[in-house]
């Protein structure tokens, strides 16, 4: 695993790339930033690191990071201004359908992970309940 990127303000946001993952590196970067933005961990106006800096931090090619940033911009999650860098855009709350789709995506990942740990449905659901209470 390459070293990660953390925003400068004691934020829990960390971007890491697992070179052994079947998920392409650009998609790992895109999805992690998207999740952080959609969860509100990276707020509107937060500046993402320059492409070359993040590429060096993650031991990736600059084109890989640029592709992830372009996909984030196409999704309306970031804005890139020439000379102004890439910043988190104002994110509108998801529609009910979008929320349900995102929850379903995260649920699939969580269910697979819980299953691989040997947890049954009741244990997995209880872990989610406890997480909500924290």
pLDDT in tens, 87-109: 999 977 888 998 899 899 889 98
- Is the Cβ–Cβ distance between 33 and 88 less than 8 Å? no
The total number of residues shown for the chain amounts to 134
Give the per-residue pLDDT at 127.
95
Query: Is 104 part of a structural domain of the chain?
Result: yes
Count of domains observed in the chain: 2
Query: Is 40 part of a structural domain of the chain?
Result: yes
Please state the φ and ψ torsions of residue 45, each to the nearest 5 degrees.
90, -15
> Of 97, 7, 74, nearest to 43 (Cα)?
7
Query: Is 30 part of a structural domain of the chain?
Result: yes
Q: What is the pLDDT of residues 11-63, one digit of tens each?
A: 446 899 999 999 999 999 999 999 899 888 899 999 999 999 999 999 999 99
Q: Which residue has the tokens 């998920």?
A: 23
For range 55-77, the mean pLDDT: 95
Q: Which domain holds residue 44?
A: 25-88
Q: Which two tokens stand for residue 58?
A: 């993650």
β-bridge mates for residue 15, sequence order: 5
Give the per-residue pLDDT at 7.
54
Give the per-residue pLDDT at 88.
95
């Amino acid at each position: 695993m390459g070293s990660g990127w953390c925003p400068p303000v004691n934020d829990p946001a960390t971007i890491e790339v697992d070179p052994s993952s079947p998920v392409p590196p650009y998609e790992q970067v895109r999805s992690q930033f998207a999740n952080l933005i959609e969860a509100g961990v990276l707020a509107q106006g937060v500046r993402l690191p320059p492409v070359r800096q993040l590429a060096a931090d993650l031991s990736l090619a600059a084109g890989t990071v640029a592709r992830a940033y372009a996909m984030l911009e196409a999704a309306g999650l970031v804005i890139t201004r020439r000379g102004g860098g890439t910043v988190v855009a104002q994110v509108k709350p998801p529609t009910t359908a979008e929320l349900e789709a995102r929850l379903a995506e995260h649920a699939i990942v969580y269910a697979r992970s819980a299953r691989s740990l040997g947890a049954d449905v009741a244990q997995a659901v209880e872990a989610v309940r406890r997480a909500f209470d924290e």
